[in-house]
Amino acid sequence: MRAVVQRTVSSRVMVEGQVIGAIGLGLTVLLGIKKGDTSEDADYLMDKIVNLRIFPDQDGKMNLSLQDVAGGVLLISQFTLYGDARKGRRPSFTEAGLPEQARPLFDYCVENLRLKGLEVQTGEFGAEMQVDICNDGPCTILLDSFRAF
């Protein structure tokens, strides 16, 4: 499981011109689910996301977590995080989880974050979406449950 985590002032996701999810201060998380990912991968990644100390404290140092600042999460499923473009010019997505495996795991991630008391908004799984992100900093962190980076 992979995540692109962006510290944001605000973000929103639209489907067919309609806003279906939006947050103010918080994290916008683009989440890729790989074949073979499990709830243990999800638990690891969601815990890491919630506890990342990437928000500035009173001295301007990245020292506060999402919970410390009472921020929200906009969680967007993005299978293209497992695109492999090492050969040719057209990415292969063979490592991405199939919808019947990825959807329940995505829903598990949403519930995991909500159980931690966070406001969670989402995109629409499998839909063509437009995501507006006002990245703060900019601050972007890459996470991988296999600790590849």
Q: Is residue 72 within 8 Å of residue 110, measured between CB atoms? A: no
Active-site residue, 80 included: yes
CA angle 83, 46, 120 (to 5 degrees): 95
Active-site residue, 8 included: no
Rounded distance between C-alpha atoms, residue 8 and residue 81, angstroms:
20
From the candidates 78, 106, 121, 122, which is the catalytic residue? 78
Phi, then psi, of 59 in degrees rounded to 5: -100, 5
pLDDT band, residue 18 (cuts 50/70/90): very high
Radius of gyration of the chain (CA): 15
Residue 18, Ramachandran bin (φ over 0: left; ψ between -120 and 50: alpha; else beta): beta
Active-site residue, 18 included: no
From the candidates 6, 8, 28, 79, which is the catalytic residue? 79
In this predicted structure, the answer to whether residue 58 has a pLDDT above a threshold of 90 is yes
CATH number for domain 2-144, candidates 3.30.470.20, 3.50.80.10, 3.20.20.330, 3.40.50.720: 3.50.80.10
pTM: 0.96
Domain ranges of the chain: 2-144
In this predicted structure, the answer to whether residue 148 has a pLDDT above a threshold of 90 is no
